[in-house]
Structure 1
Amino acid sequence: MKLADLSLTPGERLSGSELEARFDRGMTGRGIEICYDDDEQRYLRLFSSDTGPYADDVTGGQFTYIGEGRTGDQTLTGGNKFLAQAEDNPLPIFFFHRPDNNADWEYQGQVEVVSHECGPFDTDDREVFQFVLRRRAEHEERVDAAESTPDLSPPERIQTTRSRIIRNTKLTSALKERYSHTCQVCGDRRRRNVDDGYAEAHHLKPLGRPHGGPDVEANVLVLCPDHHADFDYGMLAIDPDSKTIAHAYDRDIDGASLYVRDDHEVDEQYLEYHNREIATF
């Protein structure tokens, strides 16, 4: 799936299987999902439910959303970190809400992060992250309407630019082909259809700010969507010397060995960077 080809209409209701078919990836059960399309462009999927653990206010063009982490104080890791980073470095964020007593998810449109703060916002006095989100379509409509109204004293305008990382998709596509779209962690080979495999490329030292990692094979692993998410959430670490896998909670993976082809050299410095800066255990 490429984001440019994705077709979603606000108000559309989708079952879990329909969501998987539309995005070419299943749901993880997290409120904030870190995802990538076929061009390795990162995007987020946000989920909120009337029957969930948080009293999210999802009405209006601007609303509040509580971060992930159901017990103890929330930390700025995993989905919370990526959602907070989107305040200064925007990326596509698709928001879904499930009304009470309804099995389907209603697509609410894309949103952008206005601000975030941490404090005791829930009834348990835990430290949780509260994000102020704004629906992109409604915000743009308000801007268009304001610009079409005559004004004797028009506001000052400034020119802004938005940067986007250009990824070497040929490099990662070729690497995925060499691994036959097989996950280097678990050996699973997902399929997008009967004939074609599906895998995702993960940069151990991320490309964007503040990491500044390089887009080279030595910094890339080929992974299934689940273990790609686990790396992003800091749930996985790889010993640079032995290539032994450490997983925060999955005993079937913990202690296994990372599969690395002879023609793919994974640089130890990028494994060390991931373990030091991103892994959370």
Structure 2
Amino acid sequence: MKLSDLSLRSGTNYTADELRSAFDRGMTGRGIEICYDEDEQRYLRLYSADTGPYADDVSGGQFTYIGEGQTGDQRLKAGNRYLANAETVPLPIFFFHRRSDGDDWEYQGQVDVLSHEYGYFDGDERKVYQFVLQRRGESEERVDPTEATPDIDTPERTQTTRSRIVRNTALVTDLKEAYSATCQVCGERRRRKVDSGYAEGHHLKPLGRPHDGPDVEGNVLVLCPNHHADFDYGLLSVDPDSHVVAHAYDSSVDGRTLHVRDDHEVESEFLAYHNREIAEF
């Protein structure tokens, strides 16, 4: 799936199977899902339910959203980290909401992150991240045109710019071809079509802020979508010296050795950075 080909309509309800079909990936059960399309474009899917554990207020063009982590103080890890980074380096964020009387997810459009805070809110006994989100295409204030004063000066317009990371797509494409789209963790090869495989490139030290990792071969692993997500969520780590894989809960890959081709030098400093800054265990 390419984001440019994605077709969603705001206000439409989608089942979990329909979302899997639209995005070419299923739901993980997390409130903040980190995803990538075929062009390695990162995007987020946000979910909020009336019956969920978070006190989200999703009314209006601007609303608050509580980060993920249901027990203890929330941490700036995984989805919380990517959502916080989107405040300064925007990326596509798709927002879905489920009402208490329904099973499907209503797509409420893309959103931008305006700000975030960390602390105790509304009498909580634990610290959480509270994000202020803005639906795209909606202003913070709505003005009734019948009440507008005709002799008011035209508001000044301010031009803003957005930064985005320019990835070396050829580097990742070459690596995926070298590994025949086979995951370096589990050895599985997912098929995109009958005659072609599908894998994703993962930067151990992320390119975006605050990590500012380099877009070099030694910082990239070729992974299946599942283990790409596990790396992003901090559920996987790799010993920088022995390349032994540790997984937080999946015994089928825990203890395996990362498959690395002789012509692909995965640099130990980037493995160590991931283990120190991103891994959850």
Give the structure-2-normalised TM-score: 0.91
> 2:196 maps to which residue?
196
Residues 1:140 and 1:167: Cα distance change in structure 2 (over 3 Å): farther
User: Higher mean Cα deviation, 114-123 or 216-225?
Assistant: 114-123
Residue type of the partner of 1:69? G
User: Higher mean Cα deviation, 21-30 or 169-178?
Assistant: 169-178
User: Higher mean Cα deviation, 205-214 or 85-94?
Assistant: 205-214
3-state SS of 2:129 partner: strand
Residue type of the partner of 2:56? D
3-state SS of 1:47 partner: strand
> 2:4 maps to which residue?
4
Q: 1:67 touches 1:131 (CA, 8 Å); kept in 2?
A: yes
Structure 2 CA distance for aligned equivalents of residues 48 and 192 of structure 1: 30
> 1:82 maps to which residue?
82
Residue 41 of structure 2 corresponds to residue 41 of structure 1? yes
3-state SS of 2:138 partner: helix
Residue type of the partner of 1:213? G
Shift of 1:252: 2.7
> 1:226 maps to which residue?
226
Shift of 1:126: 1.6
> 2:236 maps to which residue?
236
Q: 1:28 touches 1:226 (CA, 8 Å); kept in 2?
A: no
Structure 1 CA distance for aligned equivalents of residues 118 and 63 of structure 2: 16
Q: 1:109 touches 1:137 (CA, 8 Å); kept in 2?
A: no
Shift of 1:67: 0.8
Structure 2 CA distance for aligned equivalents of residues 224 and 68 of structure 1: 24
3-state SS of 2:115 partner: strand
Residues 1:176 and 1:151: Cα distance change in structure 2 (over 3 Å): farther
Shift of 1:192: 2.9
Residues 1:62 and 1:198: Cα distance change in structure 2 (over 3 Å): same
> 1:216 maps to which residue?
216
Residues 1:165 and 1:150: Cα distance change in structure 2 (over 3 Å): farther
Identity of aligned residues (%): 72
Structure 2 CA distance for aligned equivalents of residues 66 and 115 of structure 1: 12
Q: 1:122 touches 1:128 (CA, 8 Å); kept in 2?
A: no
> 1:255 maps to which residue?
255
> 2:184 maps to which residue?
184
Residues 1:151 and 1:46: Cα distance change in structure 2 (over 3 Å): farther
> 1:272 maps to which residue?
272
Structure 1 CA distance for aligned equivalents of residues 150 and 35 of structure 2: 42
Structure 2 CA distance for aligned equivalents of residues 150 and 269 of structure 1: 63
User: Higher mean Cα deviation, 120-129 or 255-264?
Assistant: 120-129
Give the structure-1-normalised TM-score: 0.91
Residue type of the partner of 2:135? R
Shift of 1:53: 1.4
> 1:59 maps to which residue?
59
Q: Gapped runs of 5+ residues in structure 2?
A: none
Q: Any idea what the Cα deviations from partners look like across 1:220-239, whole Å, max 9, x if unmatched?
A: 10111221112112222111
> 2:98 maps to which residue?
98
The two structures, once aligned, show a CA RMSD in angstroms of 2.3
Structure 2 CA distance for aligned equivalents of residues 15 and 193 of structure 1: 24
Q: 1:94 touches 1:110 (CA, 8 Å); kept in 2?
A: yes
Structure 2 CA distance for aligned equivalents of residues 6 and 150 of structure 1: 41
> 1:207 maps to which residue?
207
3-state SS of 1:206 partner: coil
Q: 2:97 touches 2:105 (CA, 8 Å); kept in 1?
A: yes
3-state SS of 1:138 partner: coil
